[in-house]
Amino acid sequence: METYGDLIAAEDVLLFVNAAITGTGQREFHSGADEQRLSLDFLHTYMLVNYRGPYAAALALDINDHNAALIVRHLLESARDATVEQRHTEGRLIARRLALLPPQRVYRLIAGLRRAKVNNRRTRAIVRDWLAARPDQAFDAVKYRAGLKLALRHTHLRTVAEETGDFLYAPRRRARFEAPLLDAWRRAHHQQSALYELPYTVAEGFAHRHGIPRAAFLERIAPRMTALERLRLQESARDHGADAVRTDLSRMPLTRLASYVLGLPPADRTARRAELTGALRGAALRAARTAGAREGSWGRVTAVLDDSFSSYGSGTKRRRPLAAALASHFLLEVLADEYTALWTSGLTDALLARPSGPTPLGRRILDALDTAPQRLLIVSDGWDNAPPGLAAEVLRVWRTRLDPQRRTSIVHLNPVYDAEDFDVRRLAPTVPTAGLRDAEDLPALVEFARFAEGRTDLTELTDHLAVRTERFLAAGAGR
């Protein structure tokens, strides 16, 4: 039988998962960066001390990279507090998660471990295995030179080839390098053409040193850019007249693509409507199939999507909440058999979404319930203010008086971490709320949200975490 302590423990775990999905320690619309960092640091410490097992298991969930790196760091810092069995499971989880993190974030993590003077045997083994699994040692030496040197120095490892070691510590020792990338870096100091053999971020510094015009540089370096670099630079390159920097939008991730679309002027979105809409629908279809969800399998779906002024986010997370709503809109369009989208502003053209006005969530939820949906999804930061509190009252009456049998499934997905409450802001106790980072995770989060309805079974939640952990580790073993 579940005890009161079990219910508290389950609520704590769910609260942390929501925070780890949405919180990044950066400024949000309603709170500053310092508040965000302090709030997240407290949660991580609390979970590590009280729920070490679920805390480590969060690495197998759809949490963001910032919190994944924090979990890894805290687990390695406190290795002596773990049992032998815990260390074994944590080691596998850490190794798998590091393989998925962007390399620059892993190198920053290693730098943080160095500052914290964490250099135990397990840390050295994990870093050694991660470095050994990197696909191109020369590439890391050129693009992440400082990070690689620090990692090797901190863990006392000698896992690089002799030539790479010379490049890192004594680049003038050799007149030339056998590895093409290393030698291109050497030649780029005095030969302009060599810099176009380097990764974009490295070549950019050399281009500035040689005084190469921006347009000419972007035109020639375009083949060396990653897809995300092309996406980020496409519009500024066009302003410089560098038309060679083009991105194949049909292959971009859904939420990233939604952010790009929202960054375009409305006139450009209108002119490119067919291209952008096709790319978003294609990305949504790929996301649904990757999540194992069939098209049209969710029945009659209505979504309330927040495009109020607070969906702008902040200067560091510009339009991020709105991007999550726009991406969710296109994904739900794929998952639903019948789909209705209701934006808080009254917008009917999703492609022209922009942050504006108050947040009349209560009124839009009433409109949504009038469509008699089988599923109602609300994507919002939860700041219901037109009038305040109406959404909570509508949902309370609907759930307790009009639909106690729960014929309509209602889930609130919140893309913004509320530092003051150590959680994402909730609309009503009767409706489950889950944090949302990327719309691609929406199907899994809707499933996970059932644990947040106030009747959480700790055993069921623990079993769910165990299943996700095994699935996560098995996916890594099959690579």
DSSP code string of 403-417: -TT--SEEEEEE-SE
Widest Cα–Cα separation across the chain: 81
Burial of 90 (0-12, 13-18, 19+ CB in 10 A): buried
Query: Quick one: which of 120, 111, 119, 122 has its CA closest to 86?
Result: 122
Give the distance, in angstroms, between the CA of residue 442 and the centroid of all CA atoms in the same chain. Answer: 12
Dihedral in degrees, nearest 10, Cα atoms 55, 59, 61, 65? 120
Q: What angle do CA 415, 265, 336 make, to 5 degrees?
A: 45
393/381 Cα distance (integer angstroms)? 17
Q: DSSP letter at 385?
A: B
Strand partners of residue 383: none
- Is the CB of residue 21 less than 8 Å from the CB of residue 62? yes
419/451 Cα distance (integer angstroms)? 22
**Residue 430 Cα distances to 240, 307, 467, angstroms:** 53, 24, 27
Q: Quote the pLDDT of residue 476.
A: 76
Query: Quick one: which of 158, 418, 345, 419 has its CA closest to 433?
Result: 418
Give the distance, in angstroms, between the CA of residue 77 and the centroid of all CA atoms in the same chain. Answer: 24
Strand partners of residue 378: 304, 412
Query: How many residues are listed for the chain in this entry?
Result: 479
- Is the CB of residue 22 less than 8 Å from the CB of residue 437? yes
**Residue 474 Cα distances to 31, 260, 422, angstroms:** 39, 34, 32
pTM (predicted TM-score): 0.92
Q: Quote the pLDDT of residue 3.
A: 64
266/342 Cα distance (integer angstroms)? 20
Structure tokens at 3: 């005890």
Read off the amino acid at residue 443.
P
CB neighbour list of residue 142: distance below 8 Å, 6 or more residues apart: 181, 182, 185, 198, 199, 202
How many CB atoms are closer than 10 A to CB 243?
13
Query: Quick one: which of 393, 398, 401 has its CA closest to 410?
Result: 398
324/329 Cα distance (integer angstroms)? 9
Residue 141 half-sphere exposure toward CB, CA atoms < 13 A: 25
Q: Quote the pLDDT of residue 7.
A: 75
Structure tokens at 161: 């080839």
Q: Is 102 helix (H, G, I), strand (E, B) or coil?
A: coil
**Residue 51 Cα distances to 47, 82, 115, angstroms:** 5, 11, 26
286/318 Cα distance (integer angstroms)? 25
Q: Quote the pLDDT of residue 158.
A: 73
Residue with tokens 């997370």: 317
Q: Quote the pLDDT of residue 21.
A: 95
From the options 1.20.120, 3.40.1000, 3.30.450, 3.40.50, give the CATH code of 257-457: 3.40.50
259/281 Cα distance (integer angstroms)? 14
Q: Domain coordinates of the chain in residue numbers? A: 4-207, 257-457
Q: Is 296 left (phi over 0), alpha (psi -120 to 50) or beta?
A: left
What DSSP assignment string belongs to 202-218? HHHHHHHHHT--HHHHH
Does the bond joining 54 to the residue before it have cis omega, within 30 degrees of 0?
Answer: no
From first to last of its 479 residues, the chain has per-residue pLDDT tens of 456 677 788 889 999 999 999 999 999 998 999 999 999 999 999 999 999 999 999 999 999 999 999 999 999 999 999 999 999 999 999 999 999 999 999 999 999 999 999 988 899 999 999 998 998 999 999 999 999 999 998 888 776 788 898 999 888 888 899 999 999 999 999 999 999 999 999 999 999 999 999 989 998 998 899 888 888 888 777 776 666 677 788 889 999 999 999 999 999 999 999 999 999 999 999 999 999 999 999 999 999 999 999 999 999 899 999 999 999 999 999 999 999 999 999 999 999 999 999 999 999 999 999 999 999 999 999 999 989 999 999 999 999 999 999 899 999 999 999 999 899 999 998 899 999 999 999 998 998 887 766 555 678 888 888 999 999 999 877 65
Q: DSSP letter at 425?
A: P
Strand partners of residue 417: 424
